[in-house]
């Protein structure tokens, strides 16, 4: 809940969506901001907290997006605001590489403690998820003295040149922006719903195929790092078949390859655990984090084994704003909130509610001649449905877009995703009241019925 005047936790529509004031602001945006900066829903927010976003027209929308998995602790969470406000009054910047401060060290200590594994760790702080991934590659290359980087089908890792190269999907992320960095290689991922020989064969076959590509086409001895999202975000919330991640991690360990878990979207209680790779007991060598780390302020991190993190020479890591003191204060407040409010438990409860309702919808619309839910998937508060055309598994991006549009019109913020554009993804704040969760699912069900 907001640290200021609490927002009523209700859906309230007083205008069409978007309203006239939002439309005026959108016209200003079109005249001031380049077309490449798109907008999913041109509703201009004035306040936010709990499970709602309030716009400039006075509408209150249910939030199933969390700013793309950022406001896990809710917008303007009390501890985040209190700590950030205190830090704002003290100082806003010195550059940690010039004259350091305790907040950076404290965040590093927290991440060293919270991330999987009981080995000695180090953490470096940055500004964004893409920057964290870039630095993970730098660190892995410095440690291994190798250059190749292996990523996976359907993966997403950012919008910088290197991370565009690491990312699988072309539109909208890569089209027209090349050439990209060299020494990037893509291998199959265990996508159970679309594995040709069936989900039961997916983990073993996908791991074998990925390892064969690495050994035969790249050479394991040339690979610095393998980078994977434990649940693929922009790719469509694909949860690799059980056994796939441990197999890849074991192969990496056996061949001196740094295993990097990209937990930028999955981390900080989003899946009902601090980090998604914990689900199968995978302990990464390096882990990249951002999004939910600081309650909405820009901060990112690379955390990993001390001997790997220390491989880069002094001055080789850093950046002017990396580990900004206000963002560090916010992160400490966010982590405090995650602990005190048991947000892992709350994420698990959200998952129980959403998966139950969505599977019921899948059954209800199984015989629809217009749209069908091919699969319901996800963990905790990171849930998705993949939509397909009746009679098979052909992706249905048109129906996906239509359902999202219908939800938006009724005051429910939902996001789409997926390599084929046919996935509705749900990322509610972990502090969302259960009545709003239920109401949002009611709106979604009505949208399915109306397609």
pLDDT 10s digits, 366-393: 998 888 999 999 999 999 999 999 999 9
pLDDT of 1 reads 42
Residue 2 has what pLDDT? 41
User: Within a 10 A sphere around the Cβ of 185, how many other Cβ atoms?
Assistant: 15
pLDDT tens for the chain, residues 1 to 451: 444 568 999 999 999 999 999 999 999 999 999 999 999 999 999 999 999 999 999 999 999 999 999 999 999 999 999 999 999 999 999 999 999 999 999 999 999 999 999 999 999 999 999 999 999 999 999 999 999 999 999 999 999 999 999 999 999 999 999 999 999 999 999 999 999 999 999 999 999 999 999 999 999 999 999 999 999 999 999 999 999 999 999 999 999 999 999 999 999 999 999 999 999 999 999 999 999 999 999 999 999 999 999 999 999 999 999 999 999 999 999 999 999 999 999 999 999 999 999 999 999 999 988 889 999 999 999 999 999 999 999 999 999 999 999 999 999 999 999 999 999 999 999 999 999 999 999 999 999 999 8
**The pLDDT of residue 256:** 98
H/E element, 137? helix 129-144
SS3 for 191?
Answer: coil
**DSSP letters along 368-406, please?**
-SS-EEEEEEEETTEEEEEEE-TTS--B-HHHHHHHHHH
The pTM of this model reads 0.97
- Write down the pLDDT at residue 5: 65
Residues forming beta bridges with residue 375, ordered by sequence position: 386
Contacts for 404 with CB less than 8 Å, ≥ 6 apart = 414, 415, 416, 424
Contact 335, 106 (CB under 8 A): no
Q: Minimal CA–CA distance to 189: which of 172, 209, 163?
A: 209
Structure tokens at 431: 């502090």
Give the whole-angstrom CA distance, residue 434 versus residue 353: 9
The token duo for 190 is: 């265990």
| Contact partners, residue 416, CB within 8 Å, separation at least 6 | 400, 401, 404, 423, 424, 425
Residue 360 in contact with residue 380, Cβ under 8 Å? no
Write out pLDDT tens, residues 93-109: 999 999 999 999 999 99
Q: Please, what are the domains in the chain?
A: 20-76+343-450 (3.90.1150.10), 79-341 (3.40.640.10)
Alpha carbons 25 and 344: distance in angstroms, whole number: 37
DSSP string, 44-83: -EEEEETTEEEETTS-EEEESSHHHHT-TT-TTBHHHHHH
- Angle ∠(214,218,219) on CA atoms, nearest 5: 80
Pair 80, 333: CB distance under 8 Å = yes
Tell me the backbone φ, ψ of residue 262, rounded to 5 degrees.
-85, 95
CA pair distance 401, 366, nearest whole angstrom? 19
């Amino acid at each position: 809940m907001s640290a200021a005047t609490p927002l009523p936790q209700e859906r309230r529509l007083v205008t069409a969506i978007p309203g006239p004031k939002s439309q005026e602001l959108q016209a200003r945006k079109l005249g001031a901001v380049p077309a490449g900066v798109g907008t999913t829903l041109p509703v201009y927010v004035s306040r936010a907290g709990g499970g709602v976003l309030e716009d400039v027209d006075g509408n209150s929308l249910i939030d199933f997006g969390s700013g793309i998995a950022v406001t896990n602790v809710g917008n303007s969470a009390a501890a985040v605001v209190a700590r950030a406000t205190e830090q704002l009054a003290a100082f806003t910047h010195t550059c940690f590489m010039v004259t350091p401060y305790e907040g950076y060290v404290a965040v590093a200590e927290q991440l060293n403690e919270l991330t999987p594994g009981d080995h000695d760790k180090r953490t470096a702080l940055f500004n964004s998820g893409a920057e964290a991934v870039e630095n993970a590659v730098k660190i892995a290359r410095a440690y291994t003295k190798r250059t190749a980087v292996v990523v996976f089908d359907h993966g997403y890792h950012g919008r910088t040149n290197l991370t565009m190269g690491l990312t699988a999907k072309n539109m909208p992320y890569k089209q027209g922006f090349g050439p990209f960095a060299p020494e990037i290689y893509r291998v199959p991922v265990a996508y159970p719903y679309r594995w040709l020989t069936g989900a039961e064969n997916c983990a073993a076959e996908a791991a074998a195929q990925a390892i064969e590509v690495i050994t035969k086409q790249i050479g394991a001895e040339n690979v610095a790092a393998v980078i994977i999202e434990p649940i693929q975000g922009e790719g469509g919330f694909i949860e690799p078949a059980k056994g796939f991640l441990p197999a890849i991690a074991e192969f990496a360990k056996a061949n001196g390859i740094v295993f990097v878990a990209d937990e930028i979207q999955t981390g900080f209680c989003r899946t009902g655990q601090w980090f998604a790779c914990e689900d199968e007991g995978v302990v990464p060598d390096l882990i990249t984090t951002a999004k939910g780390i600081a309650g909405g302020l820009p901060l990112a991190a690379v955390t990993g084994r001390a001997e790997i993190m220390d491989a880069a020479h002094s001055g080789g890591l850093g950046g002017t704003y990396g580990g900004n003191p206000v963002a560090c204060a916010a992160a400490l407040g966010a982590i405090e909130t995650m602990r005190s409010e048991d947000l892992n438990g709350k994420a698990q409860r959200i998952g129980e509610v959403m998966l139950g309702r969505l599977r019921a919808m899948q059954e209800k619309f199984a015989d629809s001649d217009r749209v069908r839910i091919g699969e319901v998937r996800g963990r905790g508060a990171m849930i998705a449905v993949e939509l397909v055309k009746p009679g098979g598994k052909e992706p249905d991006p048109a129906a996906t877009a239509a359902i999202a549009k219908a939800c938006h019109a009724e005051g429910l913020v939902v996001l789409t995703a997926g390599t084929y554009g046919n996935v509705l993804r749900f990322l509610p704040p972990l502090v969302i009241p259960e009545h709003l969760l239920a109401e949002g699912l009611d709106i979604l069900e009505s949208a399915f019925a109306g397609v």
